Chains A and B, each alone.
Chain A
Amino acid sequence: QKEVEQNSGPLSVPEGAIASLNCTYSDRGSQSFFWYRQYSGKSPELIMSIYSNGDKEDGRFTAQLNKASQYVSLLIRDSQPSDSATYLCAVRGYKYIFGTGTRLKVLA
């Protein structure tokens, strides 16, 4: 079992729709959870962090955390073609562990 799992995609959504990205993790001791966006050929950019169970909203982005189910998700509302990128889930226990990323394609 991978420590942090993501569906590699691609996940294709039409412009204006909600994109839902999911991530599961294996270490129950993990304390901090992050979502990064990575455009092709660029470095990862932090877009959301979440530490407590529940939802955290920032603009068009909502991160959801369920520690009991070891599950983190990212919702992107009103998806735009500029949101097309790979989204990396990262989990911090004693070190940071990244998933392999989900490639999102927003179709104009």
Chain B
Amino acid sequence: DAGVTQSPTHLIKTRGQHVTLRCSPISGHKSVSWYQQVLGQGPQFIFQYYEKEERGRGNFPDRFSARQFPNYSSELNVNALLLGDSALYLCASTSTRAGGPLYEQYFGPGTRLTVT
């Protein structure tokens, strides 16, 4: 089975621009979460979506938004980019199937965003 996929792999943007990152979860997983990881830190929670509804939001400004589509793929949008938004953006797919290993999150390869 394919794992979590993310696109693009790398991205360079200029301050003030907008960016859209994409994620496809593991087949059968209905929950997707987004994280930001800066060098030397653990992943910081941004959003969680389950069945196309937002189920959690981390401490990030309103410039960050996301959505989940009927096929469970997801987009993360960031407006008015700042230099501090430079980071590795990770998408995680979570199993919520009864009888299985609940809540195990599997990460995609990430999108490396550089804001200049």
Q: Which of A12-20, A63-71, A73-81, A98-106 contacts B (4 or more CB under 8 A)?
A: A98-106
> In angstroms, how far is the closest chain A Cβ from the Cβ of B47?
10
> How far apart are the CA atoms of A94 and B103 in the complex, in Å?
11
> In angstroms, how far is the closest chain A Cβ from the Cβ of B58?
7
Task: Please determine whether A96 and B45 come into contact, CB atoms closer than 8 angstroms.
Answer: yes
Task: Please determine whether A96 and B105 come into contact, CB atoms closer than 8 angstroms.
Answer: yes
Which of A31, A34, A94 makes the CB contact (< 8 A) with B56?
A: A94
The interface residues of chain A lying within 8 Å CB-to-CB of B45 are 95-97
Task: Please determine whether B58 and A88 come into contact, CB atoms closer than 8 angstroms.
Answer: no
Task: Please determine whether A43 and B42 come into contact, CB atoms closer than 8 angstroms.
Answer: no
Task: Please determine whether B105 and A43 come into contact, CB atoms closer than 8 angstroms.
Answer: no
Task: Please determine whether A98 and B56 come into contact, CB atoms closer than 8 angstroms.
Answer: no
Report if B110 contacts A (CB, 8 A).
yes
> How far apart are the CA atoms of A65 and B52 in the complex, in Å?
33
Report if A54 contacts B (CB, 8 A).
no
Task: Please determine whether B42 and A46 come into contact, CB atoms closer than 8 angstroms.
Answer: no
Task: Please determine whether A101 and B107 come into contact, CB atoms closer than 8 angstroms.
Answer: no
Q: Contacts A43-B88, A43-B90, A49-B101 given; indicate if A98 touches B107 (C-beta within 8 A).
A: no
Q: Contacts A32-B102, A34-B105 given; indicate if A44 touches B43 (C-beta within 8 A).
A: yes
The interface residues of chain A lying within 8 Å CB-to-CB of B108 are 43
Which B residues lie at the A interface, using CB under 8 A? 33, 35, 40-45, 48, 56, 58, 88, 90, 92, 101-110
